[in-house]
Structure 1
Amino acid sequence: MWLPDRRTLLLSLAALAGCGFTPVYGPQGGGGALLNAVALSEPDDRYDYDFNARFEERLGRGAGPYALDVTISTGVTGLGSLADGQTTRYRLTGRADYVLSPAGSEEALIAGRTDAFTSYSATGSTAATQAAERDAKRRLMVILADQVIDRLLLDADALPQ
């Protein structure tokens, strides 16, 4: 039977400290600079709204020193089909190209691209299929927003102070 040992815990913490680990929201982490400091553009459609809502849920609504420009593109591919050719499952892919810049400037501080996918079933009624599609698109926007935030937080320590 395994019993926790204080020495193991202390050695683990020492190893983390020795490897240069810094919490992103800690005193030396760069994540604090992005909290409530990133302004997003107004959403054009429901899915831009879902992206912005998730972004603001994690980093707060910002009117601070940074502006984030995000271009989202999506695509749909049929995956499964019946013998009569009716598609039963769809794969929804998405790409987010993002640029973080100082508010009112075109200078790119952090730029990148992230990709994600999700899928939904089309075997139910028309209403069920439409609801599944809307949910899949919402989930895709949440995934893309989380990936963009994670990448921004990883590069946040390079932002000018």
Structure 2
Amino acid sequence: MWLPDRRTFLISLAALAGCGFTPVYGPQGGGGQLLNAVALPEPDRRYTYDFNARFEERLGRASGPYMLNRSIDVTSNGLGSLADGQTTRYQLTGRATYSLGFVGSEEVLISGQTDAFTGYSATGSTAATQAAERDARRRLMVILADQVIDRLLLDADMLPQ
């Protein structure tokens, strides 16, 4: 039977401390200044609403001091088909381009883009296919929002104090 060894644990902690590891929400981490501090533009489509909902779920709803400008593009491609040409599977590919700056300022503090994809089956009824597509779009927005948040947190130490 394997028993944890306290020495291994302490050596692991020392190795992490020696490599410059800093928790993003820790006292020296930059992630704390993004909590409840990033405002988002109003959603204009259902999938941008889903993006905003996930973003606010993780970082909180705020009216500033930061503003995240984002552009989201989603494309759909048929992947599988039957002998009669009917498409049975679709892939949704999304790209989120973002820039973080101060509210009311044109200065960009952090910017980047991220890509993700998801898929859904179109073999059921029309209602089932539409529900599957809505769910795939929602999952795609959750993935993109998580990736944008992760990149913002990684670059948060570059933000002015």
Task: State the match for 1:9 in structure 2.
Answer: 9
Distance 1:64 1:47 in 2: 23
The CA distance in 1 between the partners of 2:137 and 2:94, in whole Å, is: 9
**In structure 2, C-alpha distance between the alignment counterparts of 1:64 and 1:136, rounded to whole Å:** 31
Q: Partner residue of 2:136?
A: 136
In structure 1, the residue corresponding to 2:96 is in which secondary structure?
strand
- Equivalent position SS for 2:50: helix
1:118-152 deviations in whole A, cap 9, x for unaligned? 00000000000000000000000000000000000
Residue 107 of structure 1 aligns to a residue whose secondary structure is: coil
| CA offsets 1:50-74 (integer angstroms, 9 cap, x no match) | 0000000000001121000000000
Q: Does 1:75 align with 2:75?
A: yes
Aligned counterparts of 2:10 and 2:142: Cα–Cα separation in 1: 37
Matched, 1:31 2:35: no
Alpha-carbon separation, structure 2, partners of 1:40 and 1:50: 12
How many residues align structurally? 161
**Root mean square deviation of aligned Cα:** 0.5
Following the alignment from structure 1 to structure 2, what is the Cα–Cα distance between the partners of residues 148 and 82? 37
Query: Match for residue 126 of structure 2?
Result: 126
Q: Is 1:147–2:154 an aligned residue pair?
A: no
TM-score, structure 2 as length reference: 0.99
| Paired position in structure 1 for 2:159 | 159
Relative to the length of structure 1, the TM-score reads 0.99
Runs of 5+ unmatched residues, structure 2: none
